[in-house]
Amino acid sequence: MTEQEIAAVIALLRSVAQTEIMPRFRKLGAADIRTKSGPLDPVTVADEAAERALTAGFKRLFPGDDVLGEEAASADPDLLQRLKAPGRVWVIDPIDGTANYAAELPLFGVMAALVEADKVLAGFIYDPLGDDTAVALAGSGAWMVAGNGARRRLHVAAPVPVEQMVGSLSWRYFNEPLRSHVLSRLDRLAQVTDYRCAAHQYRMLAAGHCHVQMFRKLMPWDHAAGVLLHKEAGGYGRHFDGSEYAPSNILGGLLMAPDAASWEAFAEAILR
């Protein structure tokens, strides 16, 4: 991507957040919130409005690219097949952390990733409250872009032994017996959190504010941008079986760590 294209994507995310997301924050009524697959899967009128605006914006900026939004794919799961098809696809999460947004908690983000042939080429994670964007380009590194355009490089934390690792582990989608197995081993780490917001968890990880992350459910809009961000910040991430991340693999689980050796130690302590 060119510098002009990067700036245009950031401007689009900011604009949609300012016009569709923030004006509705802490102003939602009961009729503005519903659930999709279950009580842990809410959606709001702000998610839907923001996705419409983002979809139109990306189609305007990149007329030859396809767009895959979370809400559209939730209504038609067959759309996920686009990730393996020829051509570029923008995968967007209009509000990541909808449960926080609906609960009036100021911890949510806007995510976008450019995918081609099941490979992530670019990732953007915008924080509407901090007005900054974590950006990653495949093979070119990761950085934080402030609202005034200032940049700083992102680097993962230095490796530490398992007992000193701090991380966010999202275990609520695990099935038995893996669920009980993982929960029984959480005390092997120094600290475990879950912010209900992959956008900020990936930003923390790429900026070196935690060491590890673990996820089970891998919808591409939640993870494509963040996995690339972590990788370009120097980190090492793999599916539970050790294979490289693929946006179309939504059930393979994911472990993230500072390097390969840390990944092995983390997997041994938590999974095996």
The tens digit of pLDDT for each residue in 154-177 reads 999 999 999 999 999 988 888 889
Q: For residues 269 and 71, which has the higher predicted lDDT (pLDDT)? A: 269
pLDDT tops 90 at residue 86: no
Residue 181 pLDDT > 90: yes
Q: What architecture does CATH give domain 3-153?
A: 2-Layer Sandwich (3.30)
Helices 198-206 and 220-232: crossing angle in degrees, nearest 10, is 10
**250: Cβ contacts below 8 Å, ≥ 6 apart:** 80, 217, 218, 219, 220
- pLDDT tens figures, 132-149: 999 999 999 999 999 999
| SS3 category, 255 | strand
Other beta carbons within 10 Å of 63: 7
Looking at residue 173, its pLDDT comes to 82
The pLDDT of residue 31 is 94
How far apart (Å, rounded) are the C-alpha atoms in residues 190 and 178? 21
Domains 3-153 and 162-270 share a fold: no
Domain locations in the chain?
3-153, 162-270
pTM of the model: 0.95
Domain 162-270 has CATH 3.40.190.80: yes
pLDDT of residue 248: 92
34 SS3 class: strand
Tokens of 234: 């120097």
pLDDT at 129 over 90: yes
What's the rounded Cα separation, in Å, for the pair 254 and 243?
Answer: 10
Q: In b/e form, how buried is each residue of 177-209, taking b as 16+ CB within 10 angstroms?
A: eeeeebeeeeeebeebeebbbbbbbbbbbbbbe
